[in-house]
Amino acid sequence: MKVSKLSIESLLVSMIFNLIGNNGINLERFWTPAYWIWTLSFALTIGIAALLIRVRLKVLWIQWQKKYPELQLLREGRLQTGSLPKGEIIWSILSTSISLLLVYLSFIFLIAFVRSDSTYILFRSYLVHYMPLITIGCLLYVSYVFIQGQLWWFTPPNALALFRDQMPEKIVPVERTVQKVVTLVPPSVLDEVIVIGSLYDVLYNHAKFDLNTIQRHVVRMFDVPFYFSKKGQKEVILIDGRRMEADRFMQELEALGLDKWYFRISSTCRVNMMLIRYPFSPSTGQLEFRKEVFDALRSNMTEMDICNLLVVTEWMRKEKKIKKFLDNVHNLRHKGWDNLISVN
């Protein structure tokens, strides 16, 4: 949710609410200075409440990760609260709503105490005429935010700064696989251009990730999920989650014609699109790695670290750069994907 959208919505709700009197809608209030003072104050209150709800949701997310480590709660920048027990969601909504209402009532009582000698009469009148509407509105809005899993300001820098030291390691269950006899065809036997939906499978089956053989300064392009560049500082994240300086990495890729596979997902980060799960929508808010890539990165990264780096920034979606990449992806060459590339 954008700040501008929240501000407009809060102001509209506040304007309508403050026109309601004891006997219904009172349009004469609209032209009084007191009406606009109360309207702006209440709009500010709504905005602060919206922020607190999302802060509470982030705190609950941390608790849920610890309590339900087997669940994947984060997808495309939203919490998947539908996978949680219903009782957990209901309790979270009620506790959040009650806390907000108690804080709100405390301020109303202070205002009544300052404005009138009959504090309790004014406070009781407010409870009778306005609190039912406030309570219903609060419950509905908290329910909407929690069910939708709306994490406001969910960007890699903010999330890492807030929660890096608080997130637990997620327990990844070991899956039992049935062994099959498969005849593998090397990529060189196939056409130089492989359909994007099959490219990863062909390359991975030909040369799987081997975390024990990743060299210090020479790597395969296929073993590098992320590339970073800012203010002269260049760095990569290897398939095992380790970071490494990479001053020459992109130059080597350009010489091989593989640089276009590294799609710029933000101002500083590029993602190796060979390793992404296809298909996905051009309007997606978050990319998703193939399972083998994700599991390998988990050697030195948390689930949240990985997911944060796969969040697509809004300006990338507005510029329709993902759509342009997908339109041209079948023209990209994979030849050289397993060359040993010097990063320094």
Write out pLDDT tens, residues 33-85: 766 776 777 777 777 888 888 888 877 877 776 677 666 666 655 677 777 88
- Yes or no: say if 108 and 123 are a contact pair by the CB < 8 Å rule: yes
Q: Which of 253, 264, 256, 261 has its CA nearest to residue 228?
A: 264
* Neighbouring C-beta atoms of residue 199, cutoff 10 Å: 23
**Measured distance between the N- and C-terminal CA atoms of the chain, rounded to whole angstroms:** 41
Q: Which residues, 6 or more positions from 245, have their beta carbon under 8 angstroms from its beta carbon?
A: 234, 235, 343, 344
- Yes or no: say if 167 and 302 are a contact pair by the CB < 8 Å rule: yes
Q: Which residues, 6 or more positions from 252, have their beta carbon under 8 angstroms from its beta carbon?
A: 341, 342, 343
pLDDT of residue 343: 73
pLDDT of residue 275: 94
Higher pLDDT, 246 or 317: 246
User: pLDDT band at 226, cuts 50/70/90?
Assistant: very high
Q: How many CA atoms lie within 13 A of 235 on its CB side?
A: 11
**DSSP string over 159-182:** HHHHHTTTPPPPP-PPPP------
Instruction: Name the β-bridge partners of 311.
Output: 286
What pLDDT, in 10s, does the model give residues 73-116?
666 556 777 778 888 888 888 988 898 888 877 877 776 676 65
Q: Which of 305, 279, 240 has its CA nearest to residue 74?
A: 305
Give mean pLDDT, residues 266-284: 88
Phi, psi of 20 (to 5 degrees): -85, 125
Q: Where are the alpha helices (DSSP H) in the chain?
A: 3-17, 33-67, 86-115, 119-129, 131-148, 156-163, 196-206, 249-256, 291-297, 303-309, 314-318, 321-328
Q: What is the mean pLDDT of the chain?
A: 76
The DSSP H or E segment spanning 340 is strand 340-342
**Amino acid in position 122:** L
Phi, psi of 165 (to 5 degrees): -85, -5
**Owner of token pair 């500083």:** 268
- Yes or no: say if 344 and 248 are a contact pair by the CB < 8 Å rule: yes
* Neighbouring C-beta atoms of residue 12, cutoff 10 Å: 12
* d(C-alpha 177, C-alpha 200), whole Å: 19
* Neighbouring C-beta atoms of residue 43, cutoff 10 Å: 22
Give mean pLDDT, residues 197-221: 79
* d(C-alpha 233, C-alpha 245), whole Å: 8
Global pTM value: 0.49
